[in-house]
Amino acid sequence: MTAGDCVLQTGSTVEVFPDGHAVFTSTVWTNHTSHGDTWHHHVYFNDANGVVIFQINFDGPRDMQDNGTHYPFVAGFNFPPGIYNAIATVSMGGEC
């Protein structure tokens, strides 16, 4: 997934657990920057009808440089455990 000069590695994962915690794992980098880039990430939990039932936003590594470095990006977060059985899909988005 790309946004601006930032790239979020294909194959990013979100592990969702019944107790209301989840873990997002990926790698992110920038292809060009003049001041350091930051990936701003969004995770959406959707029900069987495609309706967003939970959303969380968080930032990846700050001030990424375009020197070929690929930055690990792992974020743990919580969600209301009562929605666990209603989660049908997880989708993602982001900005740079």
CATH code of the domain covering residue 23: 2.60.40
C-beta of residue 82 within 8 angstroms of C-beta of residue 47: no
Domain span at residue 14 reads 2-95
pLDDT in tens, 9-34: 999 999 999 999 999 999 999 888 76
Total structural domains in the chain?
Answer: 1
Provide the sign of the torsion angle of the four alpha carbons 28, 7, 38, 36, taken in this order. positive
DSSP assigned state of 9: P
- Taking each continuous run of H as one helix and of E as one strand, the counts in the chain are 0, 8
pLDDT in tens, 39-60: 899 999 999 999 999 999 998 8
pLDDT-derived band at 36, boundaries 50, 70, 90: confident
Is the pLDDT at 63 greater than 80? The verdict is no
Gap between the Cα atoms of 95 and 48, Å rounded: 26
